[in-house]
Chain A
């Protein structure tokens, strides 16, 4: 009898100990959740930076990285900016040595020393302001989230770190913003599996610069030919663009690629938050897409004037079709 009682006593003590352990674990977890730093929304930081963009004045050196045909290409740029005027030059050891890019509120001039020509084009975009507005719109529409990370230091200046993630939590962009000036000192863009696809980071920055009187004059090297049209990449057809674009969309980039050694021209369009590309090349039929599933992407194609066109992006199918049908 005494033995049985002892056994029950032991059991009771063991059960009490287990319950106590469980309750204390629960309490610690609750405390951790309660005192964990909440992810601070970055929207106010973005808005302040957007507001300050038009007044930016600086001189600096930045390193630009971009993926081209799967390879990360790096360039160092010397940049001067006085509000909506900018001038870019390159170091002597750069593949772009001697190139000069000048932009004002309306135009862009690119001097190519290898061809001794100045190409005049419409200004590409508001650059950083367009990118920041795109992020802001996407966050407001709930397509992305932006929150503040641990502050960082870039080019010797402390900056607010903004992380932009999609609905699944994938990192899309990481920005370091100098809050007093609004200058984005570092920006990185990530693709699938967090692969870095493009970035730039200032290495040196002077936010109280002085500019020469001719700093933002369009380049006019002696004997240079002035070409008043966008680059055609030397392809043997006239590059065609759409006659219609959705509201707020602009051509923000134009590139040349080789698809199985055949020339392909890519025109890229964006409204800051959504993007699509139009590809064109010579041939009796457009290239064929494989079986791989690309959720969210829409594609459309058209044959016209001996050329194939493919529209591709995360926009409505009807939008892509309308854009392609507006090509004349």
Chain B
């Protein structure tokens, strides 16, 4: 019966005079029985101590595991990088490709010196002058 009155109140329906009196009486008798204070004094529900400790330990273990696996992954990556950079076949040194076109000009210059008197400043003599100039 009390449930019906509570539902009515929840739906904001008005209780009849009789119903209101009966409800008041029921609430008063409930108070008198001391049940509400007994329920309020009961300890609230909590997980058992063993279960809570197990859960905490598990969390701690997982943390350690995560840190350890992080370190492991870092070490593996470093090792892999080391192998990539050092152990694989060294690339051939980059050799600058020289252009041989100047050789044609030098050959032509040398051919032209055939008109020069051989007893004088020849090709070697001139190049020695140019070489000294290079050094400066």
Q: Which residues of A contact B (CB under 8 A)?
A: 62, 64, 66-70, 73, 75, 77, 79, 81, 86, 88, 95-96, 99, 101, 103, 108, 110, 123-128, 130-131, 134, 173, 175, 187-192, 197-200, 230-231, 233, 252-260, 262, 264, 266, 268, 270, 272, 275-277, 279, 283-290, 292, 294, 297, 299, 310, 312-313
Contacts and interface: CB of A to CB of B under 8 A. Distances in A.
A289 to B, nearest CB: 5
A70 to B, nearest CB: 7
A110 B98 contact: no
Contacts, number: 191
A260 B98 contact: yes
Contact of B130 (A68, A128, A175, A312): A68
Contact of A66 (B99, B100, B105, B112): B112
Contacts of B101: 289-290, 292
Given A67-B112, A68-B126, A260-B99, A266 B106 contact: yes
A96 B129 contact: yes
Interface stretch (B6-14, B26-34, B80-88, B116-124): B116-124
A125 B118 contact: yes
Interface of B: 95-131, 134
A256 B134 CA distance: 11
Given A66-B126, A260-B98, A283-B98, A252 B114 contact: yes
A200 B99 CA distance: 32
A200 B130 contact: no
Contacts of B105: 70
Contact of A288 (B100, B112, B119, B124): B100
A284 B92 CA distance: 12
A108 B110 CA distance: 20
A128 B118 contact: yes
B110 A275 contact: yes
B109 A127 contact: no
Contact of B98 (A198, A256, A287, A313): A287
Nearest to B95: A284
Contacts of A128: 117-118
Given A252-B114, A286-B100, A290-B101, 18 more contacts: A66-B113, A67-B109, A68-B127, A125-B118, A130-B118, A134-B114, A175-B115, A253-B113, A255-B127, A256-B131, A257-B106, A260-B99, A268-B110, A287-B97, A287-B100, A290-B99, A299-B100, A313-B107
B104 A312 contact: yes
Given A66-B113, A310-B103, A253 B121 contact: no
A287 B134 CA distance: 21
A42 B8 CA distance: 142
B119 A127 contact: yes
